[in-house]
Amino acid sequence: MVESLGSRASACRSSTVAVLSVLLLAGCVQSAEEADANGNSNRKAEEDVSMRELTPEEEAVIVHKGTERPFSGEYYDHHEAGAYVCRRCGTPLYESDDKFDSGCGWPSFDDELPGAVKRLPDADGRRTEILCATCGAHLGHVFEGERMTVNNVRHCVNSISLEFVPAEEGVEDAAREGGVESGVEGTDDGADRARDERGDATGRAYFAGGCFWGVEHLLQEVDGVSEVRSGYMGGQTEEPTYHDVTSGRTGHAETVEVVYDPARVTFKELARLFFEIHDPTQVDGQGPDRGSQYRSAVFYVDDPQKLAAEELIGILKEKGYDVATEVTAAGPFWEAEDYHQDYYERSGGSPYCHTRQKRF
Ligand SMILES: [Zn+2]
């Protein structure tokens, strides 16, 4: 979504190889006309979005643009740390850090996740309606100039349009302390970690290929892969949040960490798959997601990984692909917020931008 550093878009929320064999050849959808003036793009064409079935109460607000009674909703007086996602499609919309008590009886936020919320003149001719930019769900209205917070903006959102995903900070904090060097990822894979510390049995690979939701989803079920996590790598700041990374200013790329058993699957096999589930020729973007945070990259952890990646790129170039993938030494891996992990498993959808295309 941002052209500042190089370019890239908003994070993807994502999730394999049983699936891969079924996937058809289909590149990412190029839809530049969906990008707004800030370079933000709708994450998916609305018809591609996997949407939950709604209860009549949800439908009255989300589809028919009704308004829940003030002080009646689940979240107007809700203060846990986490993210608020679209009730219908699961896209992250707001973070708890941006929530404030406005006294109006509806959840109020003075900022949104970049590109997540669309504004339209309301049918009443006075107000500005806000909708989920991904699926068009009615959220509520946005008001400016009330001076309630420094940002001077109030997103007044129906609770019923939202679903809260807790941050589970303990896990996240632990994860954030771990870089590549420490090998500690804050998860409960004690066995893997123990094996890792001995330096055998577990391999790690880091790939960036656009919205991490899709890359994670497709690598997850490869035989021999025990874990895939979404996160950020390749930037200049510590502990970046999704919000930071989507700004395009930290230099990070949405990256997946693949933990695998080298006896069952090799780095090269994983890298080949990586080159076939994203478009390695697209510069600073993937499908509709534009910006350096969506760039294509292999972050290698040792020389054999570097050589394997370069060899595969050489093969692709011989076949006429103008490969844009950068091959760079891995830096710290910052695990993404919980609401980005296993996105497609949780939402029941399928990647909008990642399908397998045979290239080798
Ligand atoms: Zn939505």
Tell me the pLDDT of the chain averaged across its residues: 79
The residues that bridge with 253 in the sheet, in sequence order, are: 233
Lowest mean pLDDT among 193-202, 211-220, 246-255: 193-202
Q: pTM score, two decimals? A: 0.54
Report yes or no on 6 lying in a domain. no
Cβ proximity of 95 and 112 under 8 Å: no
Is 65 found in the same domain as 127?
yes
308 φ, ψ (degrees, to nearest 5): -65, -45
Between the CA of 131 and the centroid of ligand 1 the distance, in Å, is 8
When divided into structural domains, the chain yields a total of 2
Which one of 120, 146, 166 terminates a domain? Answer: 166
Over 60: is that where the pLDDT of 259 sits?
yes
Task: Specify whether the backbone of 84 is left (phi greater than 0), alpha (psi in -120 to 50) or beta.
Answer: beta
Distance CA 353, CA 121 (A): 30
Is 143 found in the same domain as 230?
no
Measure the N-to-C terminal CA separation of the chain; round to a whole number of Å: 30
Q: Chain-centre distance of CA 51, in angstroms?
A: 17
Question: How many residues in the chain?
Answer: 360
Between the CA of 139 and the centroid of ligand 1 the distance, in Å, is 9
DSSP state of 291: B
Ligand 1 ion: nearby residues, β-carbon < 5 Å: 86, 88-89, 91, 132, 134-135, 137
The residues that bridge with 108 in the sheet, in sequence order, are: 100, 156
Kindly tell me the burial class for residue 78, based on how many C-beta atoms sit within 10 Å of its own C-beta (0-12, 13-18, 19 or more).
Answer: middle
Is 175 found in the same domain as 290?
yes
Rounded average pLDDT over 119-143: 94
Is 153 found in the same domain as 71?
yes
Other Cβ atoms within 10 Å of 301 Cβ, number: 15
Using the structure block, give the residue that is written with the tokens 């632990």: 174
Lowest mean pLDDT among 12-26, 145-159, 258-272, 337-351: 12-26
Report yes or no on 176 lying in a domain. yes
- Locate 341 and state its tokens: 């992990």
Is 174 found in the same domain as 117?
no
Between the CA of 134 and the centroid of ligand 1 the distance, in Å, is 5
Distance CA 130, CA 110 (A): 13
CATH number at residue 78: 2.170.150.20
- Locate 344 and state its tokens: 């497609």
The residues that bridge with 258 in the sheet, in sequence order, are: 205, 228
Give the domain range for residue 273: 17-37+168-347
Kindly tell me the burial class for residue 354, based on how many C-beta atoms sit within 10 Å of its own C-beta (0-12, 13-18, 19 or more).
Answer: buried
Which one of 148, 166, 184 terminates a domain? Answer: 166
| Per-residue pLDDT reduced to its tens digit, 145-193 | 888 888 899 999 999 999 999 886 433 333 334 333 333 343 334 444 4
Is 66 found in the same domain as 31?
no
CATH number at residue 255: 3.30.1060.10
Provide the residue type at 158 as one letter.
N
Is 283 found in the same domain as 135?
no
- Report the pLDDT value the prediction gives residue 235, as an integer from 0 to 100: 93
- Locate 167 and state its tokens: 């941050």
Report yes or no on 281 lying in a domain. yes
Q: E strands within the chain?
A: 82-86, 92-95, 99-100, 108-109, 117-121, 128-132, 138-144, 153-157, 162-166, 203-209, 225-233, 253-260, 285-286, 289-290, 296-300, 326-329, 334-335
- 11 band by pLDDT with thresholds 50, 70 and 90: very low
Is 217 found in the same domain as 147?
no
Helix (H, G, I), strand (E, B) or coil at 191: helix
The strand pair at 296-300 and 203-209 is best described as antiparallel
Report yes or no on 204 lying in a domain. yes
Between the CA of 62 and the centroid of ligand 1 the distance, in Å, is 9
How far is residue 276 from each of residues 219, 234, 271, 314, 357, measured CA to CA in Å? Answer: 11, 22, 9, 15, 5
Is 114 found in the same domain as 54?
yes
Report yes or no on 11 lying in a domain. no
Between the CA of 116 and the centroid of ligand 1 the distance, in Å, is 9
Side-chain-side CA neighbours of residue 357 (13 Å): 15
Question: Which are the catalytic amino acids?
Answer: 156, 211
Cβ proximity of 293 and 2 under 8 Å: yes
Is 185 found in the same domain as 124?
no
Which one of 119, 149, 166 terminates a domain? Answer: 166
- Locate 359 and state its tokens: 């290239």
Between the CA of 347 and the centroid of ligand 1 the distance, in Å, is 11
Single out the residue of 230, 257, 259 nearest to residue 242, CA to CA. 230
> Helix 267-277 to helix 303-318 angle, to the nearest 10 degrees?
40
Report yes or no on 293 lying in a domain. yes
Over 90: is that where the pLDDT of 39 sits?
no
Is 262 found in the same domain as 146?
no
| Per-residue pLDDT reduced to its tens digit, 49-89 | 678 899 999 999 999 999 999 899 999 999 999 999 999 99
Is 220 found in the same domain as 108?
no
Report yes or no on 307 lying in a domain. yes
